């Protein structure tokens, strides 16, 4: 049984999935792999996520120390940028592997199926 940020996981794989699992977290991280992005830039990259959900997911990733939130202005309109922390950067190869396997499946299926 492993512990991280107050949560307990029965397996080393559950720990990883507890941090990057869920419907949106890997998508966010995928877009932050090599660049900082603002909140609305992320929204444009992920047209089907709602504001509320994106906001919640960003907070969870921030709470786990995977991404950092930098604020550049004190009054509206605000400028906020999200990027990987050093700890978050240790996930880069994993996120890429996840993306690659997804691509591999898409490839495989686009070849074997018409639809």
Partner DNA sequence: CAGTATCCACATTGATACTG
Partner DNA sequence: CAGTATCAATGTGGATACTG
> Where along the sequence are the contacts to DNA (CB under 7 A)?
22-24, 38-41, 48-53, 55-59, 69, 76-80, 82
For the bound state, the minimum distance from the C-beta of residue 106 to its own copies, rounded and expressed in Å, comes to 5
For the bound state, the minimum distance from the C-beta of residue 36 to its own copies, rounded and expressed in Å, comes to 19
Compute the distance between CA of residue 45 and CA of residue 31 in angstroms, rounded to an integer. Answer: 8
Residue 112 engages its own copies in binding (rule: CB under 8 A): no
Nearer to DNA by Cβ, of 47 and 114: the residue is 47
71, 80 Cβ separation under 8 angstroms: yes
Six-digit token pair at 56? 């919640």
Six-digit token pair at 2? 């492993």
Q: For 1-115, where are the E strands, in sequence order?
A: 2-4, 7-9, 37-38, 67-71, 80-84
Residue 11 engages its own copies in binding (rule: CB under 8 A): yes
For the bound state, the minimum distance from the C-beta of residue 92 to its own copies, rounded and expressed in Å, comes to 11
Distance (Å) of CA 104 to CA 39, 47, 107? 29, 23, 5
78 binds, among DNA, its own copies, none (CB under 5 to 8 A by kind): DNA
Residue 80 engages its own copies in binding (rule: CB under 8 A): no
């Amino acid at each position: 049984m492993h512990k991280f940020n107050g949560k307990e996981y029965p397996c080393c794989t559950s720990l990883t999935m507890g941090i990057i699992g869920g419907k949106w977290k890997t998508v966010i991280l995928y877009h932050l792999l090599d660049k900082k992005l603002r909140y609305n830039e992320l929204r444009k990259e992920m047209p089907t996520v709602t504001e509320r959900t994106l906001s919640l997911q960003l907070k969870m990733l921030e709470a786990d120390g995977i991404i950092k939130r930098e604020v550049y202005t004190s009054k509206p309109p605000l400028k906020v940028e999200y990027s990987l922390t050093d700890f978050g950067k240790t996930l880069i190869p994993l996120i890429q592997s996840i993306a690659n396997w997804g691509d591999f499946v898409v490839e495989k299926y686009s070849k074997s199926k018409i639809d």
